[in-house]
Amino acid sequence: MFFLTPRHVKLGRQFVKDAKKLLAYKRDLWSEATIADVESHIAQLDQATKSRDEQQVKTAAEKLDDLLGKHIPPHKDAAWRENVEVFLVAIVVALGVRTYFLQPFTIPTSSMYPTLNGIIFHESKDPMPNPLLRALYVPVYGRHYVNFVAEERETVLKTQAAPKSPLPFINRIPGLNGGFFDRSEIVTQTESGRMRTYTVKEAVETLDSQFPRMKWQGRVYEKGEAILSGYFDAGDHVFVDKISYHFRKPQRSETFVFSTAEIPQIKARSTTSQYYIKRLAGTPNDTLQIRPPELYLNGERAKEPGFNRVMSGELQKANDGYRGYGNGVAREGYDQAVFVERMTYLSTPDQTFKLGPNEYFALGDNSYNSWDSRGWGPVPEKSIMGRALLVYWPFLPHFGLTK
């Protein structure tokens, strides 16, 4: 039986097989004398293998290996070639996984808070922690600190995108909005006329959402005053499961990611993101209604666990950060690129909305700070990428499977 065959016999048989293949490949290149010599050594190894004598197999294999080594010169830069091949294979495998199985996605805003965190700036006048703690906070919280202080009287002129990557041909990590190499700049002019530039390790869209230009641009800072002091916490980085929806339909209450390319109202008003992440509130042919703080589906209060968490609090009395569903947005703390005074759909407690056969309704868990289907309508089925599977970075506070 094969599994009882000694290891040296298996190796001998495999070597004979490989040597015969090599001989067939090189037969038209080698001389008749070389071919005869190789055939003779292959026959000796074959005979030793059949005898099952370990020492004979080892001796015959070494002789055959030495002979083949004389007639097959080593490739120039073989180590480099092998490393390049391994690198290219790794890239192909990674791209295949990203395309067909799992795709990384970064939460850019707070529309899903507190289930998922967006990129948030925390103002602080406290001194920065020591370098060791700052290094520890990067993997744990995705946190980086800034401390820009005016050297003289300075006026903020603008925010602008900076070169995003120090590497050629790579402007951001593939698939990540708010990638590792994203940079933006705060440009100021001093009282003496000197231009100053402060670099922030975030995309310019993030900077603009945290500090609206209408409030920041033109602001004057006195000498010694902090222009920007505190820290940014990275938005949650999630893996999107692109497989499940090929075998089943999206289900209510799942956190899902979709493309905005087929949603005209988004394309017309915002260019900051190709993909959105929300909670799937309504499936085809559902009728939705919001009576704050509750969501109603087909005339009944929503029952799924994800909805219940959101509806556990109210606007004026949050529960672990959840404030329920609302008919509009609140100005305070709004960090979306597109601000609306009034939602288009479900804008009053009495208004209902019925989905079509291939339409889905998306709602943010942070309803009063979410630009979602209430503003731009349903998500076409063909635009759905997949469900948010797990948070892989930062390690706190949401690491693990998404809710």
User: Token pair for residue 141?
Assistant: 């919280």
Q: Which structural domain, as residue segments, surrounds residue 46?
A: 2-71
- Tell me what pLDDT residue 206 has: 74
Residues 222 and 280 occupy one common structural domain: no
Q: What is the per-residue pLDDT for 28? A: 86
Say how far apart CA 363 and CA 247 lie, in whole Å: 24
Confidence of residue 249 (pLDDT cuts 50, 70, 90): very high
> Do 251 and 324 fall within a single domain?
yes
Residues 6+ apart with CB under 8 A from 135: none
The 10s digit of each residue's pLDDT in 350-375 is: 999 999 999 999 999 999 988 899 99
* 237: helix, strand or coil: strand
The pLDDT assigned to 161 comes to 76
Identify which has the larger pLDDT, 274 or 143. Answer: 143
Do 304 and 392 lie in one domain? The reply is: yes
Mean pLDDT of 103-126: 87
Q: Which of 41-55, 240-254, 286-300 has the lowest mean pLDDT?
A: 41-55
The pLDDT tens digits of the residues spanning 123-177 come to 888 888 999 999 999 989 989 898 999 999 999 888 877 765 554 444 444 334 4
Q: How many CB atoms lie within 10 A of CB 277?
A: 29
**CATH number of 29's domain:** 1.20.1270
Higher pLDDT, 388 or 96: 388
Q: What is the pLDDT of residue 176?
A: 40
| Average pLDDT score, the chain | 84
CA distance 142 to 136: 9
Domain assignment present for residue 91? The answer is no
Same domain, 185 and 310: no
**3-class SS at 52?**
coil
Q: Which of the residue ranges 27-41, 246-260, 300-314 would you say has the lowest mean pLDDT?
A: 27-41
CA angle 318, 321, 324 (to 5 degrees): 55
Q: What is the pLDDT of residue 175?
A: 37
Task: Using the structure block, give the residue that is written with the tokens 């808070």.
Answer: 113
Would you state the pLDDT for residue 169?
Answer: 44
Query: What band does 266 get if pLDDT is binned at 50, 70 and 90?
Result: confident
Cα-flanking dihedrals φ and ψ of residue 55, to 5°? -70, -40
Residues 262 and 394 in one domain: yes
Q: Which of 47, 71, 95 finishes a domain?
A: 71
Mean pLDDT of 100-121: 86
What pLDDT, on a 0 to 100 scale, did the predictor assign at position 248? Answer: 93
Task: List, as own/partner pairs, every contact residues 36-43 make where C-beta atoms lie below 8 angstroms and the sequence separation is at least 24, other chains included.
Answer: 37/67, 38/64, 38/67, 38/68, 38/71, 41/67, 42/16
Query: Which CATH number belongs to the domain containing residue 280 in this structure?
Result: 2.10.109.10
Q: Is the pLDDT of residue 237 over 50?
A: yes
Total tally of structural domains belonging to the chain:
3
| Tokens at 294, concatenated | 């509750």
pLDDT value of residue 207: 74
137 within a domain of the structure (yes/no):
no
Res 85 pLDDT > 80: no
Task: State residue 309's pLDDT score.
Answer: 95
